[in-house]
């Protein structure tokens, strides 16, 4: 990988580091582009076919992403995360702008939409690990927790603004305009990424073992032998398994059964997003939380109680307040876990470790969606939310029970 030696930034906090700000701006533009793209894809698929066909189009990207994530992590470490992220956003910009131009001229049908979704799934498989591997190459180790807080804020900004921006683009100019906006946002990230100057890692060459598959095997061996990172991956999997079903499926069922309607889901998600944003802001401002391992374990455990309580309140304002507490506690524990992964991992292996973490969140956890829906149909939301909360609590208890996690600390600034 070709790298450029950056100006030392040891005394410079992350929010004043130009390299971090370039990365953050590119990540925000890319996140906004993702939100606009998926809204436009959903709208276009629903307008062009049946709901079932639209669902299949939306699901197409998940398959290659789940299957190729681990290989994508090895590629990110082998070729360098900056190069991989630039290539990923270039492909996304060209494909989406091409689709926008096609829609201006013709109606390509569901097949073309599915093909674009497939490309996105493949690109995501290398993009996600590469994004996770960039921070140690642009920021000092004692600033990585603050970088994770800033990343969380950027992600929330993309989620909050992306959907309205996509909806406005559809309303003003149809699907073609919305895809055009998404393509422009992906393109905006490119000059920011191109301006990044990366620090070369001491063990960078030693962490590679000949081929991408051998690199992957070496990364998995490294992960398995690490006293903290292996258990952290178990925590990520348990937390996401317990959290994903209630948030993505359970809330819709609750809103329907309680008579809250679609606006009810919006208020609950707004509460959650506000809490998660506050947690990211806290980490951004403070830069370090003492006893990070123990704090993440306790916040996961207490947050699990709030997740279970969501199913037992008949009042929307109370549910929104509970969701805010879930977002605050889950957002803080998630940001701390991500920061611990960044600081515990040898940066030369971070692409592969990020790929394992992403696989747990984006590949395995979504498998709980149909199970959650079927279980709610059989037993109602109360027992299902209680079981999901128990899984989240197990993640917190496991964190507190493993000494390497319970005693884990973020580095001092």
Chain-centroid distance of CA 403 in Å reads 27
The torsion of the CA quartet 109, 179, 273, 196, rounded to 10 degrees, works out to 130
The torsion of the CA quartet 37, 40, 43, 48, rounded to 10 degrees, works out to -100
Each residue of 113-137: pLDDT tens digit?
889 989 998 998 999 899 888 898 8
Shared-domain flag, residues 181 and 222: no
Average pLDDT over residues 147-155: 89
Shared-domain flag, residues 249 and 354: yes
Please tell me the predicted confidence (pLDDT) of residue 215: 85
Picking from 139, 161, 194, the residue at the C-terminal end of a domain is: 194
Please tell me the predicted confidence (pLDDT) of residue 10: 46
Average of per-residue pLDDT values in the chain: 87
Shared-domain flag, residues 184 and 280: no
Whether residue 7 is predicted with pLDDT greater than 90 in this model: the reply is no
Nearest-CA neighbor of 297 among 337, 340, 264, 352? 337
> Do the Cβ atoms of 243 and 392 come closer than 8 Å?
yes
The total of structural domains in the chain comes to 2
Distance CA 101, CA 92 (A): 14
Residue 206 domain-assigned (yes or no): no
Shared-domain flag, residues 222 and 188: no
Each residue of 30-75: pLDDT tens digit?
999 998 998 888 888 877 776 667 767 877 888 888 889 999 999 9
Shared-domain flag, residues 187 and 320: no
Please tell me the predicted confidence (pLDDT) of residue 2: 40
Shared-domain flag, residues 173 and 224: no
Residue 146 domain-assigned (yes or no): yes
Whether residue 206 is predicted with pLDDT greater than 60 in this model: the reply is no
Picking from 125, 160, 194, the residue at the C-terminal end of a domain is: 194
- Structure tokens given for 73: 């992590």
Each residue of 278-331: pLDDT tens digit?
999 998 888 889 999 999 999 999 999 999 999 999 999 999 999 999 999 999
Residue 200 domain-assigned (yes or no): no
- Write the CATH number for 338: 1.20.1250.20
Please tell me the predicted confidence (pLDDT) of residue 204: 53
Shared-domain flag, residues 21 and 101: yes
> Do the Cβ atoms of 15 and 146 come closer than 8 Å?
yes
Each residue of 70-99: pLDDT tens digit?
999 999 888 889 999 999 999 999 999 999
- Cα distances from 60 to residues 21, 76, 282, 292, 356, in angstroms, run 33, 23, 37, 38, 21
Each residue of 220-266: pLDDT tens digit?
999 999 999 999 999 999 999 998 888 878 888 888 888 888 778 88
Please tell me the predicted confidence (pLDDT) of residue 384: 92
> Do the Cβ atoms of 26 and 192 come closer than 8 Å?
yes
Shared-domain flag, residues 94 and 230: no
Domain of residue 102: give its range: 14-194
Distance CA 142, CA 150 (A): 14
Residue 97 domain-assigned (yes or no): yes
Shared-domain flag, residues 184 and 224: no
Shared-domain flag, residues 379 and 285: yes
Please tell me the predicted confidence (pLDDT) of residue 67: 87
Please tell me the predicted confidence (pLDDT) of residue 298: 97
Higher-confidence residue of 203 and 260: namely 260
Q: What are phi and psi of 109, to 5 degrees?
A: 90, 175
> Do the Cβ atoms of 154 and 26 come closer than 8 Å?
no
Whether residue 3 is predicted with pLDDT greater than 60 in this model: the reply is no
Each residue of 180-191: pLDDT tens digit?
999 999 999 999
CA atoms within 13 A on the CB side of 137: 33
> Do the Cβ atoms of 259 and 380 come closer than 8 Å?
no
Each residue of 321-363: pLDDT tens digit?
999 999 999 999 999 999 999 999 988 899 999 999 988 888 7
Shared-domain flag, residues 157 and 287: no
Each residue of 393-404: pLDDT tens digit?
999 999 999 999
Higher-confidence residue of 9 and 61: namely 61
Backbone Cα Rg of the chain: 21
């Amino acid at each position: 990988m070709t790298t450029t030696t950056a100006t030392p930034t040891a005394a410079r906090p992350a929010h004043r580091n130009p390299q971090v700000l370039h990365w953050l701006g590119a990540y925000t533009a890319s996140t906004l582009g993702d939100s606009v793209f998926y809204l436009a894809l959903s709208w276009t698929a629903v307008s062009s076919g049946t709901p079932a066909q639209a669902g299949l189009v939306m699901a197409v990207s998940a398959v290659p992403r789940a299957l190729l994530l681990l290989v994508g992590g090895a590629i990110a470490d082998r070729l360098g995360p900056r190069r991989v992220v630039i290539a990923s956003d270039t492909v996304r910009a060209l494909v989406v702008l091409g689709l926008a131009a096609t829609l201006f001229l013709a109606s390509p049908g569901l097949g073309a939409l599915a093909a674009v979704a497939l490309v996105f799934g493949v690109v995501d498989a290398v993009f996600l690990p590469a994004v996770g591997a960039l921070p140690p190459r642009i920021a000092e180790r004692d600033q990585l927790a603050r970088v994770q807080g800033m990343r969380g804020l950027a992600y929330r900004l993309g989620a909050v603004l992306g959907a309205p921006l996509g909806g406005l683009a559809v309303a003003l100019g149809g699907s073609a305009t919305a895809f055009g906006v998404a393509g422009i946002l992906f393109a905006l990230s490119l000059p920011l990424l191109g301006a990044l100057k990366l620090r070369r890692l001491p063990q960078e060459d030693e962490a590679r073992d000949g081929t991408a598959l051998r690199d992957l095997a070496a990364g998995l061996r490294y992960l398995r032998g690490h006293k903290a990172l292996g258990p952290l991956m178990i925590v990520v999997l348990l937390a996401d398994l317990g959290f994903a079903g209630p948030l993505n499926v359970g809330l819709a069922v609750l809103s329907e059964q309680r008579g809250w309607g679609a606006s009810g889901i919006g208020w609950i998600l707004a509460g959650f997003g506000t809490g998660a944003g506050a947690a990211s802001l806290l980490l951004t401002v403070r830069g370090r939380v003492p006893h990070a391992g123990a704090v993440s374990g306790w916040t996961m455990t207490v947050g699990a109680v709030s997740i279970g309580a969501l199913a037992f309140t008949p009042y929307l304002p109370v549910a929104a307040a509970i969701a805010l507490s879930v977002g605050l506690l889950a957002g803080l524990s998630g940001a701390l876990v991500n920061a611990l992964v960044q600081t515990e991992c040898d940066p030369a292996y971070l692409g592969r470790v990020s790929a394992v973490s992403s696989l747990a969140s984006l590949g395995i956890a979504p498998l709980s969606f149909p199970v959650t829906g079927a279980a709610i149909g059989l037993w109602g939301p109360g027992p299902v939310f209680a079981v999901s909360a128990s899984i989240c609590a197990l993640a917190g208890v496991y964190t507190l029970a493993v000494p390497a996690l319970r005693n884990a600390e973020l580095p001092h600034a």
